[in-house]
A and B are shown apart, each in its own frame.
Chain A
């Protein structure tokens, strides 16, 4: 069979193909990615969409955890101060109930307890980044303000709402307790018990001082119980932070597996493609101008 005497289409196709291979290899080496457009690998591209969304989620969860963790730690340390303030109040109450104090000393003790009450209230009004920690979800209102009408001398302006923050796909952590539960609970009011102790010390009645001190003691154990909530939240957040760090690493590994390129292979492919391309060009240059005419010498 006669072969096609016109070599041009074959040569063009060969050059084009070797150039396309060279371009692909070059692109893979320069970008470090084996998938630049979805058609390069549709399944990997679809997985990448999910991976990108998950990475974004994990980043946000990580931010949530670190933001909330500081807040919970602040609240926890505030409750720690309250606990030590209450302990101090109990020892003052015990001293007042001993019956060995002069009236002036009793008044001094009462004033000290009053000071403790104020410091507890200031802890209860603690804010973190402009939001009150113990006002429920009414974070822009000062939780406790002085009020003559209230038996404890302070009235609660917050609400009973609690916030949960998502720190994982199916995991959210409750991050606050309302002040109404911690400080002015109807059965175990911290502020109420301190204010009762102040009035008892002012009155000087040993029996009532003793019972008021017991009240403060009960309030102390109650606050300690409430504090456990923040400790739990803190440890939960810490372990979630570790998990999220691992998740970030595994997502980025998955990303590399999906669209990344093996540099050694890519570099080898590139150098092969370069060789093939120059071979195609060299062959074309040699073959195209050669005809029988080149060998016919002009007659002398």
Chain B
């Protein structure tokens, strides 16, 4: 998480982090050090980014499983259309980690 928080502040930062410990950061290649308070301030946003990333990955796999039903020579049922749309809408309004963790995936028809 520390590494992501640093890159959120400075995407070009060069550094090493040991034990994911904010007190064990080594700044490299002339990178200007970032204060621990600035890094700490990003941790909440990083945690949400990671949770959403994981959710999207699982969602995308489920969508991929039914992609073949969207081929032009296949007629998709309305149930399947609803299911796929629900998957696409899954991340709407998710602005906290708690909300992301509470998501339940729609049932495949």
Partners in one complex: no
Which A residues are within 8 Å of any B CB, using their own CB? none
